[in-house]
Amino acid sequence: MNIQKNPKYIFIKRVVNSFLSPKIHGSFNKKSAFEVTNRNTEISKLGRFFHKITYRLWFFPSMYSAKFWVDIKKDGDRGYSTFMKIDDKALFLIENLRKLINDKNMPILDVGCNIGRFLNVLAIDGCNNLTGIDINQLAINDSYSVYPDLVGSADMKCDTIQNFLSNVKENEFDLIYTMGATVEHVHPTFPLVKKLAKASGKYVCFLINERELYVRFWEIEFRRNGFKLLMKAPFSYFDNDYAHRNIPTNEIREVLYIFEKIV
């Protein structure tokens, strides 16, 4: 059995990430705590070895996973052209977001928005108080030209998840959502759920892969921070591109979580 799919292995990762990781990332050296180097930046072999080891340690703050999304070209495996399609998975998220939106002026945040495909759909729907954050500067720069409907409706920002959430105001957004390799790549030493709970005045919505490195007990963590589970729904699809990642099956299983703030 592939260890990444082993339920016992995933359970252990949840325990470690949710309960055993000290939430200290950003508590010290705040000025440089969330800095990310370019993936092409030359570093020594020793430095590369150090980062590859430490980012797997549950107690050592790391931004290593984020570096692979910095200065990405338009095309390619992580290029923004890869994240423009509105497929069945995207529609699944959009349909559930629409159920939560009862005011077109509702402040909405897309975490890891990339080029802004979901924000574009919401802007076309008439939503006009949108914010998107992503670490890919090119995607942010090109978002308004690729999706003209975002102009005047969305504030697109290049930032890390950690830095943005560390500076957000309380209840600044009514709805926060994300899909894909975003929150699952935030090191567990960062108090992610606490920051999301502070930023959202109503809802937090995830559509994520539960086999990523930093999977957690999301329901327990959100409950501890004043949110209740409103919806949990599995979503499976097939992706032939995963063959090159040494995954024995092309079936990808993800989960949609919707949490609501307890008032």
Global pTM value: 0.90
Q: Which residue has the tokens 């729907």?
A: 125
* Domains with residue ranges and CATH for the chain: 3-261 (3.40.50.150)
DSSP for 66-116, written as a single string: GGGGTT--SSSTTSGGGG----HHHHHHHHHHHHH---TT--EEEET-TTT
With a CB cutoff of 8 Å and minimum separation 6, the contacts of 122 are 97, 101, 108, 130
Closest CA to 159 of 182, 190, 128, 177: 182
Interaxial angle between packed helices 88-100 and 117-125, expressed in degrees from 0 to 180 and rounded to the nearest 10: 50
Per-residue pLDDT of the chain (263 residues; tens, 9 = 90+): 445 568 888 899 999 999 999 999 988 776 677 887 765 555 666 766 777 777 888 888 988 888 888 888 898 888 899 999 999 999 999 999 999 999 999 999 999 999 999 999 999 999 999 999 999 999 999 999 999 999 999 999 999 999 999 999 999 999 999 998 899 999 999 999 999 999 999 999 999 988 888 999 999 999 999 999 999 999 876 555 544 445 544 556 799 999 999 98
